Chain A
Amino acid sequence: MKRLCDVKAQQQLLARPPVDVAAIFADHQIGLVRLALLMVGDQATAEDVVQDAFARTHAGRARLRDPGKALAYVRSAVLNGCRSVLRRRATVFRRTVPYEPPVWSAESAALLSEERRAVLAALQDLPPRQREALVLRYYLDLTDQEIADTMGIGASTARSTIARGLAALGRVLGEES
């Protein structure tokens, strides 16, 4: 019986027109660049990340059939790209091309107040998962479930990750002030 239901559900999924991931990218490009910027710190890298994610997912668009999940899928592709960028940066010896100073640095051309910069710098020092979860919650205002879908984790894990990240952030900022 369960099998039958599964087959039916699958058929329903297949009957839906495949989602045009390219269109979602195009519609949300600016938002995705902003999201990537918050992760990697500078616009040029953020744009590259979005472009690369677009190019990669564009090729495999036929696999994506659930329109409800499309935006989460696209965002998680961008977050994955950001993670790779940050990993590459961590291996400083390999880095030959200097990137723009991040928005939260004092050298950045984008003018943010001292307080904002302190918050963003503290955010950068958090583990990547916590940082991603906090950005998805406090920049994109996503629900626990949406964050979970985007990060590929469970909703309860998302919730606890946010709580831990927020606590850590509070500690750092509290010590500074």
Chain B
Amino acid sequence: MNSPVEDQLRRALAEAAETVRVETIVPLRPAQRRRQVPVRALVAAVVTVALAVIVLPRLHGGGETAVAAAPPRDKADLTVFLCRKTAGPACDADERVDAIQTALREMPGVSEVHFEDRRTAYDALRAEYPSLAARLTPEDVPQAFRLVTRPDADLAGLARKVREMPGVAETVTSADITAALAPHNATPELAVFLCGNASAQERCGGRAATKAQKEKISQALKAHPEVTSVTFEDQETAYENFRETNKRNEALVAATRVSDMPESFRVLFRPGVDPATRHGLATSMRRMSGVAHVVDQRCLVISSAAHRLFGVPVQEIEACE
């Protein structure tokens, strides 16, 4: 059916196509504004540097206004965190950084776009929250764009559009950051949750804390020299608080019963107490029988601030000391 010429052609084409060295193929790069000008850009950069060297001394620092400095982390109108390989291997943010930057610059209402790489972000995180940074590597900290928007910009709409861009993990507004940084509670509590009938913790063994265990825990807390107050929160109070904080999530509230709530001791410390002391008490409480788990609200505040400022996921930074 096929003529000899057709067969010859087919084989020749197949063989020639096979000569492509697949392993050396450079991955495709998205379209960029300055795709064809690496040489020109280089020349321009050299010229700029040369000019700067000549001109700057005469300007006495006046040249600094030419490029807007990045806003402080807590002052950016919108922070855009890119995805991280450590959170999902499918993340291709590294290849998309340039495209994302171009897209952000073109969005309506955006006046400045500042990029922060992992290393810079990690170093800043380490300066601010050294104990958190010790648990993380630069790979855990996402790359970020900090945007300055025009006063009339629709921040919510902008954030929604940005979140749909591939490679973007999440966005944080300046209001989110302000809320996270403002101390919710000037005197954060240490919450010691007790085992209940439904506790999932292995150490509870499915048994609720006994009256004797509760008594012992309460005494241990009150005996601590830095503790100023110990309050018992029963299931009804816990449920009321839970309903109050989740009142916008009706489905969650409807699905939760009073008996699902854990009992807890709420512990307040003397103002200005050393974080290590809080940590020490939390650790010793975790070892007592009848205790399901211990949460230091101070850590929650730090976690949420670090999450908003550096894009580090909360579950990776829960323990804070």
> Which residues in A have some Cβ–Cβ distance to B below 8 Å?
22, 25-26, 29-30, 33-35, 37-38, 43, 46-47, 50-51, 54-56, 58-59, 103-104, 110, 112-113, 115-117, 119-120, 123, 134-135, 138-139, 166, 169-170, 173
Q: How far is the CB of B34 from chain A (nearest CB, A)?
A: 12
**A112 pairs with B28, CB closer than 8 A:** no
Stretch at the interface among B4-12, B114-122, B176-184, B272-280: B4-12
Residue of A nearest to B5 (CB): A170
19 residue pairs A–B, Cβ–Cβ below 8 Å: A25-B28, A33-B20, A37-B20, A38-B16, A38-B17, A47-B25, A51-B28, A54-B31, A55-B30, A55-B32, A110-B19, A112-B19, A115-B12, A116-B11, A116-B12, A138-B10, A139-B13, A139-B17, A170-B5
Residue of A nearest to B95 (CB): A26
Q: How far is the CB of A22 from chain B (nearest CB, A)?
A: 7
**A58 pairs with B16, CB closer than 8 A:** no
- Give bound CA distance, A135 to B9, whole Å: 9
Q: How far is the CB of A24 from chain B (nearest CB, A)?
A: 11
**A51 pairs with B6, CB closer than 8 A:** no
B215 close to chain A: CB less than 8 A: no
- A103-B26 CB under 8 A given contacts A166-B6, A170-B3, A173-B8: no
**A166 pairs with B22, CB closer than 8 A:** no
Residue of B nearest to A110 (CB): B19
Chain A residues with CB under 8 Å of B257's CB are none
Residue of A nearest to B21 (CB): A43
The number of residue pairs between A and B whose CB atoms lie closer than 8 Å in the complex comes to 93
Chain B residues with CB under 8 Å of A134's CB are 9
Please list the 7 inter-chain residue pairs (A to B) with the smallest Cβ-Cβ separation, ordered nearest first.
Answer: A110-B19, A119-B12, A34-B17, A55-B31, A139-B13, A116-B12, A170-B5
**B16 pairs with A138, CB closer than 8 A:** no
Q: Per-residue 0/1 for B153-174: is the Cβ within 8 Å of any A Cβ (1 yes, 0 no)?
A: 0000000000000000000000
Name B28's contact: one of A50, A59, A170 (CB within 8 Å): A50
Name A47's contact: one of B12, B13, B14, B26 (CB within 8 Å): B26
- Give bound CA distance, A120 to B14, whole Å: 11
List which B170-198 residues lie within 8 A (CB) of chain A: none
B250 close to chain A: CB less than 8 A: no
Name A116's contact: one of B16, B27, B32, B35 (CB within 8 Å): B16
Q: How far is the CB of B100 from chain A (nearest CB, A)?
A: 13
**A29 pairs with B25, CB closer than 8 A:** yes
List which B16-62 residues lie within 8 A (CB) of chain A: 16-22, 24-32, 35
Chain B residues with CB under 8 Å of A120's CB are 12-13, 16
B202 close to chain A: CB less than 8 A: no
